[in-house]
Amino acid sequence: MSAYLVVDLDIQDHDAFADYRSKALSLVAEAGGRLIALDDAPLQLEGWEASNMLIIEFPDMQAIRDLFASSAYAPLARQRQSAAGSRIIALRGFVPA
């Protein structure tokens, strides 16, 4: 079942974050992920102020766990954390009954 990584970012260092993104997206692709939404000005409707959001679809939740636990992603995670504040969640996809 597909799983989705939802990321909300407050980017402080745009150059460092651009470098992170270029490297991280190749690891995401290797993990079977694909970027399905990216917005630096999301429409704010209720209870949430966001400036940069993205959604990445993965084959399953394990692919997300494996990516975040990988030794290849660890230095990139540190780079992201120093360049931007982030809130990240993973959601299981919906399968209608």
> Rounded to whole angstroms, how far apart are CA atoms 66 and 94?
21
Q: In this structure, which amino acid lies at residue 70?
A: S
The domain of 8 spans 3-92
Cβ-contact 52, 9 below 8 angstroms: yes
Q: Residue 11 domain-assigned?
A: yes
* CATH number, residue 25: 3.30.70.100
pLDDT band for position 51 (50/70/90)? confident
Tens-place pLDDT, residues 7-37? 999 999 999 999 999 999 999 999 999 999 9
Number of domains in the chain: 1
Evaluate the CA torsion angle 66, 67, 72, 76 in order and state its sign.
negative
Q: Does pLDDT of 59 surpass 90? A: yes
Q: Residue 97 domain-assigned?
A: no
pLDDT band for position 81 (50/70/90)? very high
